[in-house]
Amino acid sequence: QITLKESGPTLVKPTQTLTLTCTFSGFSLSTSGVGVGWIRQPPGKALEWLALIYWNDDKRYSPSLKSRLTITKDTSKNQVVLTMTNMDPVDTATYYCAHRPLGYCSSTSCYQANWFDPWGQGTLVTVSS
Amino acid sequence: QSALTQPASVSGSPGQSITISCTGTSSDVGGYNYVSWYQQHPGKAPKLMIYDVSKRPSGVSNRFSGSKSGNTASLTISGLQAEDEADYYCSSYTSSSTWVFGGGTKLTVL
């Protein structure tokens, strides 16, 4: 069974740097094809994809937030860390981490997984002075 | 990249069918068969309902189905049940090797 759990501060001040940790179990980030992503959701609003790190340390970032985001992994600890600099009240949101699966093969082809399953429970981060 | 476009709300009566649309561009929805759909109940984490446009994960009811035509993907829920009332989000892989989500649709079961 795959589980993920987000942890970090519940309150940060404007201009501070947010550091969130995703601790997972049931899979290894050293397995080829696997990834862990971060998605956020402001209160009452839509989901927004932020970043993803692959098993091979390849990283992808949301173009609109790329300059503020850094994603890293610690395979030995089964953890992925997301940092976001220069926090602003508009960054108030529930932050989720999610598992990007291995992918699958049919009788003729293999396909990468471009979905997220499962997700962590989320952690609410409020940005306020 | 802009968010995918979904209707803000849809509704239906128990037993009926509803369809939620998700419109993107040729750089995301139209360019790949990598559309996924998520169900989110209030205060809960999103749950995967459909991946690769039309595939259902194990354990998801066959009342949920997905399709795509051009730059628009669709989620259809047949035989509506009260438990289906939730927010639904589409997502697509993009030509930038990133992901984008839709604005979300609130489904009300009347």
A110 versus B106: which is more confidently predicted?
B106
Report A:2-31 residues touching B (Cβ under 8 A): none
* Structure confidence by residue, pLDDT tens digits, B32-76: 999 999 999 999 999 999 999 999 999 999 999 999 999 999 999
DSSP-based three-state secondary structure for B29: coil
Taking contacts as CB-CB distances below 8 angstroms, the residues of chain B near A49 are 91, 98-101
Taking contacts as CB-CB distances below 8 angstroms, the residues of chain B near A117 are 48, 51, 57
pLDDT at A78 over 90: yes
Cα gap A35→A104, rounded to integer Å: 14
* Structure confidence by residue, pLDDT tens digits, A11-54: 999 999 999 999 999 999 999 889 999 999 999 999 999 999 99
DSSP-based three-state secondary structure for B97: coil
Q: Do A115 and B48 touch (CB under 8 A)?
A: yes
Per-residue pLDDT, A66: 97
Cα gap A36→A41, rounded to integer Å: 17
